[in-house]
Homo-oligomer: A and B are copies of this chain.
Amino acid sequence: MSLSELARQAAVGKATLSGLENGTRDPRLETLYAIAAALNVPMSALTLDQGAPAHEASSVRGTAVVSRLLEVFEEPGAVYELFALTIVPGAEQLSPAHPAGVTEHVTVHSGQLRAGPAKAPLTGGPGDYVSWRSDVPHVYAALGGQEVRATLLIRTPR
């Protein structure tokens, strides 16, 4: 897809795209929407996501767990954060307790996961679903020397 062609499909000026690629322009949101629609990609593909998740020093940071924040939903009653997890084999990560009421929901897609409250962690393989109240210290670990891939949904009441 050339610059000229994208300009036609997105109905934006070539000058605009040229400026964006060279970092000499700061696009408006409407412009980004038009480009994202023309490229069939989500907005997040165009906006380098530098915003920090609400759980700053939380479960999903560190060497054992690689996380990618996918989406955040803000409701009157709660905030939802959706993560893609990749858990490095061998290592184990301990997370401190979150505020009361926070729940975590993990769906395992590959590998053997051990996760949950530190005192009584749960184990799950592909297709399994585990959740727990995360107001106590909890762990993430990959078992069997195999990388674990999973989806994590954190619900934080407010």
Contacts and interface: CB of A to CB of B under 8 A. Distances in A.
Given A43-B49, A51-B43, A105 B70 contact: yes
Contact of A47 (B47, B70, B75, B80): B47
A53 B120 CA distance: 30
A45 B32 contact: no
A48 B75 contact: no
A43 B41 contact: no
B27 A71 contact: no
A120 B153 CA distance: 27
Interface string A101-128: 0000101011000001000101000110
Contact of A40 (B47, B51, B149): B51
A127 B47 CA distance: 18
A50 interface: yes
A74 to B, nearest CB: 6
A100 interface: no
A81 to B, nearest CB: 9
A156 to B, nearest CB: 11
A44 interface: yes
Contact of A82 (B33, B50, B77, B105): B105
Given A40-B116, A75-B78, A153-B153, 12 more contacts: A26-B29, A26-B30, A29-B29, A40-B120, A41-B52, A42-B53, A42-B69, A43-B50, A44-B49, A77-B77, A107-B151, A109-B150
